Amino acid sequence: MKNALAAILTLSIVTSAIFADWPLFRGNALQSGVAKEALPDKLEILWKFKAGDSIESAAAIDKDTVYVASEDGNLYAFDLLKGTEKWKYKAAGFKAPPSVLNGVVYAGDEEGMFHAVDAVKGTKLWSFESQGEITSGANFADGRVLFGSHDSTLYCLDIKKGELAWKVKTEGPVNGSPVVTGKYTFMAGCDSNLHVIDIKDGKKVAAIELGGQCGATAAVLGEKVYVGTMTNQMLEIDLTKKDIAWSYEAEKPQPFYASAAVTEKLVIVGGRDRLIHALKRDNGEVAWTFTTKGRVDSSPVVAGKRVYVGSTDNHLYVLDLEKGDLVQKIELNRGIVASPAVAHGRLVIGTTDGWIYCLGEKK
């Protein structure tokens, strides 16, 4: 087991052209929530679209197309620049974020069906049925696609045919998206453990006790994993020691449902205490906090020297990364639990009343 974990550390930086846009929930295979580019100094609404129901997940952006899943049962494709609808694919309601790879969009729905859809035509390529609601986004490795389900299972499928390669059972629903680093995947769920799994055969390499259930997606940087729990703690897990390195609990304890954005210096996460917390990555101490007027279930994104995050108080916040000062506050009319997607100088985010917004610089 020690050698297996050591291998994780040597493979923890993924550099692949498939992650040049914003193809996954948190932007990359490590689920770090860090964009590869800065956004314009001032964001303005460039276009918007009204879906039939709430948008609760992040969009995916691939080249000139943005993909958004809605609880109205549609997976939408829009022209990123103009906002014109290219197609929509009908299924059950979607809470899970879409993921894109090599011309195919993948997303699970509320009835437990996992869909592979042609990214150009919007037609079904294949589907796979789990036995529970899917809120997990998909991740990719070695010709396979991975996702979690509320049937307490992590699934690994052949990416071309949708056939089951393996599955791993846990003791509770899997809400968050799997992390992929090298030949391993990480899964944190409602059984209060961080599972480390070999992607090749689905064998568990380690299970690290977290002390609480997780609804968030874990993020990896180097030999450390970062995830918040429903028992009010934000954790750093040391993979070499297979133990918690530090834990943080806010003054007014509330669950962490948002996933963290992780940079070399900071771990930034939203809480149900209405705060955005920036913690020093080396010791978990508070670097700064910022107060909103609503829950922060939206997962922050770092782009350049700024942090972008939504709140149920109907606003998208732009904060200075280093100090947490407010740079811009944008009213989007209804609450935001979805997370930003950032690529090509634009930010896409949805609201609980079904509006999809694309923001950038007007020229």
CATH number of the CATH domain containing 291:
2.130.10.10
pLDDT for the residue numbered 101? 97
pLDDT for the residue numbered 215? 86
- Residues in a beta bridge with 209: 193
Below-50 pLDDT ranges, the chain: 7-19
pLDDT for the residue numbered 238? 93
Residue 83 backbone class (left: φ over 0; alpha: ψ -120 to 50; beta: rest): left
Q: Which tokens is 348 given?
A: 């896409």
Structure-token match 């390669």, residue found: 165
Coil, strand or helix at 226:
strand
For the chain, the domain total comes to: 1
Integer Cα distance of 243 and 210 in angstroms = 8
pLDDT for the residue numbered 19? 44
Given a contact cutoff of 8 angstroms between Cβ atoms, the answer to whether 268 and 248 are in contact is no
Other beta carbons less than 10 A from residue 3's beta carbon: 7
Given a contact cutoff of 8 angstroms between Cβ atoms, the answer to whether 261 and 32 are in contact is yes
pLDDT for the residue numbered 187? 85
Q: Which tokens is 303 given?
A: 């782009």
Give the length of the chain: 363
Integer Cα distance of 36 and 34 in angstroms = 7
Other beta carbons less than 10 A from residue 79's beta carbon: 14
**For 223, phi and psi rounded to 5 degrees?**
-95, 15
* Each residue's pLDDT tens digit, 159-190: 999 999 999 998 889 999 999 988 899 888 78
Integer Cα distance of 253 and 279 in angstroms = 16
- Domain hosting 144: range is 2-360
Integer Cα distance of 63 and 151 in angstroms = 34
Which H/E stretch holds residue 9?
A: helix 2-10
pLDDT for the residue numbered 10? 43
HSE-CB for 260 with a 13 A CA cutoff: 30
* Greatest Cα-to-Cα distance within the chain, rounded to the nearest angstrom: 55
